[in-house]
Every structure is written in C-alpha cells, then in structure tokens.
Amino acid sequence: MSEEKKDPTLLQALIPVSFLVFLLVCSRLLFADDSSYGPNQIALILTAGLVCILGVRNGYKWSDLEEGIVHGISLSLGAVLILLVVGSLIGTWIMAGIVPTMIYYGLQILHPVIFYPATCVICALVAISTGSSWTTASTVGIALIGICAALGLNPGITAGAIISGAYFGDKMSPLSDTTNLAPAMAGTDLITHIRHMFWTTTPSLIIAIILFAILGFFQHAKAASTDLSAFSGAIQTHFSIGLHLLIPPAIVILLVVKKMPAFPALLIGALVGGVFACIFQQEAVLAFVNDTSLPKVVALLKGFWMALYKGFVANTGNEKIDNLLSRGGMGEMLNTVWLIISAMTFGAVMETTKMLQKLASTVLSFVRSSGSLIASTLGTSIAMNIIASDQYIAIVIPGRMYRAEFARRKLHPKNLSRCLEDAGTLTSPLVPWNTCGAFMAGSLQVATGAYWYFCFFNLLNPIISAIYGFTGFTIEKLEDPEEQAA
C-alpha cells in the first residue's frame, strides 16, 4: 500500500525558499557578474534537490516528482525554442546588414538627449502592433542596443527603456497571450480588462518616459564625445546599407500582427535574413567564412549556416564595431536555456509538492480588506515569478487562488485580472532566472542585474496598482448578481 502524501507545513515551504535566497546571495558575492553563467543554475538545481528530499519525506515518490519536473520543463519549451531561433535571427540579421542598417539610420535620427524616451515610445508602438514584448526586444531592441553603444550611452538604461516600452505595448495589445490569459483566469472579458488596465499603465508609462528624458539630459555630455561620423562611416564601408534591408523586420512584424506564432515568424525572419545576406552582403559573408578553397556559392551557403548556429563575427578593424556586431547564433543562447531549465525544475517540484500552494494560502489567511487583498494578489504574483520562474504560472496560480475571494467580496473580476498583469506580467523580466528575465538578458546581451532598476514602467505599475487598492480608486464592485455568478 502506497504511503499517503502529506501537505507541507509552512516551515517546510519556507526552507527551500530561504535556502535558494542564501545560495543566490553567495553566488552573487563569489562570482559577481558571472553568477548567471553557471552558479545560479547550480543554486536552483541544489534547491530543487532539497525540495525533492522534503517531498519524499511527505510521501511523494520519485516518479511523482520526476513527472512534475518533466511537465514543468515542458511548459518552458516554447520559450526555449523562441530563444534559440532569436539567436539565429540575430546572427543572420547582423550578417545581412539589417542590424547595421537600423543602427546607421538610427544614428541619423536619434539624438542622445531624446534617445531613452524615444526608445521607450518606439518599443511601445511596436509591441502594441505585434502583441509581443519578446518579438519587440529581439528585433527593434537589438538595433536600439547597437545605437546605444554607438552613441556612448548606458546599455542598462537602454535595456530598461526597451523593456518598459515593450511591456506596456504587450499589456495593452489584444494580440498578447498574457493579456488574453489574465481575464480568462479572473473571469472577465478581454476588452473590459484592457480598458481597466489603462488606469494603471498610462500614469506608469508617462512617469517612466519623464524619468528616461531626465536621464537622457544628463547623459548628453558623456555621449557628445563619441565620434559618430567615424562609426557610421565604418558601418557603411563594411556593409551595404539601404532601406531594402528593413524588409525582413517588416515581414516579421507583419506575420506576428497576422497572428502567426512567434517561433515560426522569427524562424522565417532568420531564414529571410540569411537569404538577404547571401544576396546583398556577399563580401561580408565570404570574409566571415574565410575559406578561399570553396566555390563562391558553397561559401555563401556555409556562411548562412554558420550564422544560424554560431552567430556572425565582424572584422571591420574597428574594435567597438566588432564587439557590437560579433554575436548571435543558437549556441550563444545555450547558457540561457540552461538557466531556464534549472529554474523550471525548481518551480515544478515546488508546485508538485504543493509548497507553492501552501505559501499562497498562508498569504490569503492574512487578508482583511480589499486593499490587502489586492496587495496580496500583487505580492503573490511577484513571488511566483521569483519562485516558479515563469510569468504564466505567476498569472494562473494567483488567478485561481484569489478569484473566489474577489467574488466573495463582490469585487469585479477585472480588478483581479488587472492585478495579475500589473505584477505577474510586468515583474517577470526583472528576475534573472525567470523565463522572461533570461530571454531579455540573452536577446539584448545586457545582464538583468544591470537593467532591472531602470525598468521604470515595470517597477511603477505594481506600486500604483497597490495604491489604487488601498485608496479604492478605480476599484469597481459587482453590481449585477449574474456577474458575480460568472
């Protein structure tokens, strides 16, 4: 007869969380900026092992835990596939001159003083059109990071502006998956959800843009010393520049707007980029391959293939440009994939052993008012992003937990759906081991620790949402009994 599975105690649920925090602090102290390149992964795996030990003690078999791990990792495979193809897209788009073209024209338009707020607005508009913060960051975002480097600006602030704008657009777009998931979990409809989010997102974005404008003003003096004409000239010398090279990004954006899933859309973008490289940047491709024994057609094909798996290596003679344009390929993303799998392993065993549910139910027991309920929902979503390492879990679990309590207090479900987005969606890129944090750091090549405190929109939104909760501003009650039943 099998041993009965016991629910974890609060102490048991807190032990792995405390252990993980301890290991992550040690990782940061011992390895500094290199902590995401192995040490953090080890911390997550060791903590997952500790959870497994506690789970076995509570009656779980290894087969139960293994099944939970496999299921948890499977939830992240979509993100992993997108991440890998983004690596290929970056490699072929640099080799094709697409990214250099974006940088070249961006340098003609974006002045250092307005660069940060303009970056935020540009990414917001693209993300509203595509409904995807990931697509925005991995296309327009990589070009903006390149322009940032050319202007001598701060990559952390630039990444913060990219993510702020991208996540505003993602939240407010009806094409976004999380924007559809949150109202489904809360029990309201999409349009009502988007309209209700307007009250928290708009002031957050306005304040963020003002802060980016202030930072841009103070960064101007530093950036003024950069020799932009020499930088632009070097790009123009080694790459064929032209507006026709913006066709691949336009294709990707159009495909996503037409509701093609991100993975095939980005894969098509990567392949089209490789074709453009073989047509318009033959000298750059042949120099990259550096094998005169091969026929030209074969060498071009080899260069296309190399860019997909190992990225492009620039050799312009300008060290700054070479560092900027030598990147991409699926191989560059493997460390981030490792981080995601490690994080999802930890989150999966926490959920399988019901430790996540125990932590969440404990929080609910302290809820007394509508304000504390909203604050608890926000806090639980943030905690799920940290512990479970996935924004979808950060929306689904709190949504299931608090839906009945919102109904019992006769609060409209759109209040819950807004909270799930304000915290569950927006704080996900701020956690290094979260799938979103790992993706943004991998795509933009800026460490999470260097950009998270500049993601003003993402940081402000949960705070404003909590203030609304305690003041009652825009918190709507249920008036129709049928709404409550729904």
pLDDT digits (tens, 9 = 90+) for 270-310: 999 999 999 999 999 999 998 989 999 999 999 999 999 99
pLDDT in the model for residue 225: 47
Look up residue 363 and give its two tokens: 């929080």
Residue 436, domain member (yes or no)? no
Q: What are phi and psi of 36, to 5 degrees?
A: -85, -5
What is residue 321's DSSP assignment? H
Confidence at 486, pLDDT banded by 50, 70, 90: very low
User: In the block, which residue shows the tokens 């963020």?
Assistant: 208
Report the distance separating Cα 280 and Cα 293, nearest Å.
Answer: 22
Domain boundaries, position 92: 78-332
Determine the pLDDT at residue 419.
Answer: 95
Token pair listed for 288: 């990259």
pLDDT computed for residue 220 by the predictor = 58
- Average confidence (pLDDT) over 27-40: 81
Name the nearest CA neighbour of 347 among 78, 59, 10, 20. Answer: 20
Confidence class for position 221, pLDDT limits 50, 70, 90: very low
Query: Would you say 183 and 174 are in contact if contact means Cβ atoms under 8 Å apart?
Result: no
| Higher local confidence (pLDDT), 154 or 327 | 154
* Whole-number percent of the chain with pLDDT over 90: 46
Listed ranges 38-47, 157-166, 246-255; the one with the highest mean pLDDT? 157-166
pTM of the predicted protein model: 0.79
For residue 170, which of 119, 125, 120 has the smallest C-alpha distance? 125
> Domain count of the chain?
1
- Answer whether 226's CB lies under 8 Å from 320's CB: no
Q: Which of the 8 DSSP states describes residue 448?
A: H
| Host H or E run for residue 435 | helix 435-444
Q: For 111-155, what is each residue's pLDDT tens digit?
A: 888 899 999 999 998 888 778 898 889 888 988 998 888 888 999
Q: Specify the higher pLDDT residue, 269 or 103.
A: 269
Query: Span 56-67, mean pLDDT?
Result: 94
Whether 119 is covered by a domain: the verdict is yes
Return the SS3 of 224.
coil
Confirm if 156 and 455 have CB atoms less than 8 A apart: no
| Interatomic CA distance for residues 39 and 265, integer angstroms | 33
Q: Examine residue 250 and state whether it is found in any structural domain, yes or no.
A: yes
- The C-alpha atoms of residue 439 and residue 61 are separated, in whole angstroms, by 33
Assess if residue 255 is contained within a domain. Answer: yes
- 135 assigned to some structural domain: yes
pLDDT class of 62 with cuts at 50, 70, 90:
very high
312, β-bridge pairs: 327
User: CA 452, CA 473: separation in Å to the nearest integer?
Assistant: 28
The arithmetic mean of pLDDT across residues 311-334, rounded, is 84
Q: Which of residues 485 and 431 earns the better pLDDT score?
A: 431
Q: Quick check: helix, strand or coil at residue 134?
A: helix
- The answer to whether residue 307 sits within a structural domain is yes
* Residues in contact with 272: Cβ distance below 8 Å, sequence separation at least 6, in sequence order: 247, 248, 251
In a domain, 111, yes or no: yes
For residue 35, name the pLDDT band (cuts at 50, 70, 90): confident
Check pLDDT > 70 for residue 474.
Answer: yes
Q: What percentage of the chain carries pLDDT values higher than 70?
A: 96
Say what the pLDDT of residue 384 is.
85
Query: Which one has a higher pLDDT value, 357 or 3?
Result: 357
What is the residue-averaged pLDDT of the chain? 88
pLDDT of residue 99: 87
pLDDT digits (tens, 9 = 90+) for 368-421: 888 999 999 999 999 888 887 778 888 887 887 788 889 888 999 999 999 999
Question: Would you state the pLDDT for residue 485?
Answer: 45
**pLDDT(222) > 60:** no
pLDDT the model gives residue 227: 60
Highest mean pLDDT among 65-79, 364-378, 455-469: 455-469
Q: What's residue 151's pLDDT?
A: 84
Q: What is the pLDDT of residues 45-56, one digit of tens each?
A: 999 999 999 999
The reply to whether 223 falls in a domain is yes
